[in-house]
Chain A
């Protein structure tokens, strides 16, 4: 899958930070940058990015979706690759943008060409950059939640596990039903809080059942949901984005944990 422009120099990667990483957990963005740079990429972060548009898309608001999608394509189509530390947002860019513009003779082909370049971070490192190990250490027993869009829209399953296996001291203990939704669902968790809660309750029980003391996943939405539930339940399982562990940037507080607020 690797493109050949590595021969002529480092591929230019546009980092699509994602709104939740940008606002809630910038450290994940910096972890992504480190991983990409270590994998020989030149990373840029276009200022003209906000969100992938899923809240509008999944609320049936076509006009705003198209406007946001168009702006994202315009900001990123000059790069060799567009990488996001989220399967959900990458799935939106890669799978949904071409559908959104399918009936548009100008933006349709552009969205399709753009989509070709889009990857979720960890699968990009493994599938495109050929990475099979990382240089980091994390002395923990972790469990990994497969976020839905990454798993089912982008086929992300083995890639994070492969890289996690190379982390010094890390032991992966799979939870039951790792592939089942955590109940976040974007605006779903706000529109149907009780149903969402019933789903995340099952998830946190499975997480606890794994015996792991740390939960990892590749999507901030799911992570915030699960971390928020674990903390409400008084469980002391630490929650982190997988990129933090792969980049060896685990010094700061975990998600929903107190302490230092610097990134």
Chain B
């Protein structure tokens, strides 16, 4: 996916004028947000569980090399294959190679953000293999040739009406009089199309929410069951996962799953939690003949031990974006790459560079709600600030903004000068704005007054008045 993160401002401006998008986004409040709050209420030990989950990931990251080796060993001993991919290109190549060797023409896919990160669909298509998304949301955006706008609800930007329209446009066998008014009817319609695809696919690709070192198991959570069909029906199952998904034990995986579903959708547990360990064994009734794991680094080892280390704890629940006022206003596409919202604002610059993604860590009010709801207690605002520091050090800060900042800082570092300047300026401004008590426009304040009035100052500064009145209120 070609990033458009550098266009965040115009992306956002378009999003703000997109009426259906705003309607679609308004549903997050009564859906994900309300449900998470309820799930948290219903589990007294939720906060403790967050600490435990965080500790598990911290421990794993501190010994990631050992756990990855242990994981690989178990995958191999259960009859599977592990492919190490340092970059997105390596991962694409590994997957294409497996598909070619299998003579695959159609590949079904479960939802995978790493799949988006390495743009696997485009790569397969360019090489004559048809990828079919089987997650309903992913299927919808594949029809529309759009990227996901949310990491767990890829089509959250769409309204029901838009989905109906897309089905009527693309499902040529769909009778005109078929009623598609309810979400259930839309799901049934998608199922009827996807059922055929599941059966004809040669390869199934899924992501992984967790990789368990103890057992060599990959875990996915879904609510539609499409993941199970994707990985059980085709002859070959490929798991694509980034290295930080590893946890030491099955017990650890359970702890993380308990916070994951609650944080993501407010469910106690996802409808389907599927554990895959190797290919079909002789006595298994079903399962793939081949089981491959493509382990993606793509910049993550660079993050280990550095300023963005904590980001590697992320379990992709989406709570940060569900609770983000900026995401809620502009949606996920405005962020211009795979990962939107606060987690994307931290992760995206690590993966595609701060020069491309510089807007993302800046486009935050630092309201702190993301960190407050993050099940892994990732200090997202702090890390966005670290990106701003890097930008500032690189000289990427816009010149006019930097000049303003420097002038202000020069005065703010010199209290006497500051008092003199503000003592002169404020009474003047106050006189100008006295009648209305506000300005509807003011030179150099266009960013503010475009949308709102600027309250005028009362008159003299507090410091002036305090000295004049000698400390009497």
Partners in one complex: yes
Which A positions have Cβ atoms within 8 angstroms of B? 17, 19, 21-27, 29-31, 33-34, 37, 43, 45, 47-51, 53, 55-62, 64, 67-68, 71, 99, 148-149, 152-153, 177, 179-181, 183-200, 202, 224-225, 227-229, 231-232, 252-259, 261-263
Q: Is the CB of A26 within 8 A of B465?
A: yes
Q: Is the CB of B419 within 8 A of A25?
A: no
Contacts of B457 in A (CB 8 A): 23-25
Does B178 make an interface contact (CB < 8 A)?
Answer: no
Contacts of A194 in B (CB 8 A): 9, 12-13, 16, 451
- From B29, B437, B463, A256 is in contact (CB under 8 Å) with B437
Instruction: For B446, give the chain A residue with the smallest CB separation.
Output: A193
Does B473 make an interface contact (CB < 8 A)?
Answer: yes
Does B258 make an interface contact (CB < 8 A)?
Answer: no
Instruction: For B436, give the chain A residue with the smallest CB separation.
Output: A258
Q: Is the CB of A253 within 8 A of B466?
A: no
Contacts of A19 in B (CB 8 A): 412
- From B366, B392, B411, B452, A186 is in contact (CB under 8 Å) with B366
Minimum CB–CB distance for A120 against chain B, Å:
15
- From B401, B430, B453, B461, A191 is in contact (CB under 8 Å) with B401
Flag B338-382 by CB within 8 Å of A: 1 or 0 each. 000000000000000000000000111111110110000000001
Q: Is the CB of B9 within 8 A of A228?
A: no
Q: Is the CB of B330 within 8 A of A50?
A: no
The CA of A256 and the CA of B337, in the complex, are separated in Å by: 40
Q: Is the CB of B365 within 8 A of A148?
A: yes
Q: Is the CB of B448 within 8 A of A261?
A: no
- From A29, A149, A188, B466 is in contact (CB under 8 Å) with A29
Instruction: For A228, give the chain B residue with the smallest CB separation.
Output: B452
Q: Is the CB of A17 within 8 A of B437?
A: no
Contacts of A263 in B (CB 8 A): 458-460, 462, 465
Q: Is the CB of A59 within 8 A of B419?
A: no
The 8 A-B residue pairs whose C-beta atoms are closest, nearest first, are A185-B365, A60-B388, A60-B392, A228-B452, A181-B367, A26-B462, A197-B451, A258-B437
- From A21, A31, A148, A183, B369 is in contact (CB under 8 Å) with A148
Contacts of A68 in B (CB 8 A): 409, 412-413
Which among A26, A53, A202, A224 has the highest number of chain B CB atoms within 10 Å? A26
- From A29, A33, A195, B12 is in contact (CB under 8 Å) with A195
Which B positions have Cβ atoms within 8 angstroms of A? 9, 12-13, 16, 29, 325-326, 328-330, 362-369, 371-372, 382, 385, 387-393, 397, 401, 405-406, 408-409, 411-413, 415, 418-419, 422, 426, 430-431, 434-438, 440, 447-448, 450-463, 465-467, 471, 473
Given A33-B473, A188-B364, A227 and B397 contact (CB-CB distance below 8 Å):
no
Q: Is the CB of B412 within 8 A of A25?
A: no
Q: Is the CB of B453 within 8 A of A256?
A: yes
Instruction: For A188, give the chain B residue with the smallest CB separation.
Output: B365
The CA of A49 and the CA of B466, in the complex, are separated in Å by: 13
The CA of A172 and the CA of B404, in the complex, are separated in Å by: 40
- From B325, B389, B408, B467, A199 is in contact (CB under 8 Å) with B325
Q: Is the CB of B463 within 8 A of A224?
A: no
Q: Is the CB of A21 within 8 A of B434?
A: no
- From B393, B411, B437, A257 is in contact (CB under 8 Å) with B437
Q: Is the CB of B455 within 8 A of A224?
A: yes
Instruction: For B466, give the chain A residue with the smallest CB separation.
Output: A45
Q: Is the CB of B12 within 8 A of A261?
A: no
Q: Is the CB of B405 within 8 A of A256?
A: no
The CA of A199 and the CA of B461, in the complex, are separated in Å by: 30
Q: Is the CB of B463 within 8 A of A180?
A: no
The CA of A49 and the CA of B413, in the complex, are separated in Å by: 9
- From B13, B448, B461, A228 is in contact (CB under 8 Å) with B448
Instruction: For B449, give the chain A residue with the smallest CB separation.
Output: A228
Q: Is the CB of A56 within 8 A of B405?
A: yes
- From B364, B401, B406, B462, A21 is in contact (CB under 8 Å) with B462
Instruction: For B391, give the chain A residue with the smallest CB separation.
Output: A60
Minimum CB–CB distance for B351 against chain A, Å:
20
- From B372, B397, B413, B434, A261 is in contact (CB under 8 Å) with B434
Q: Is the CB of B422 within 8 A of A22?
A: yes
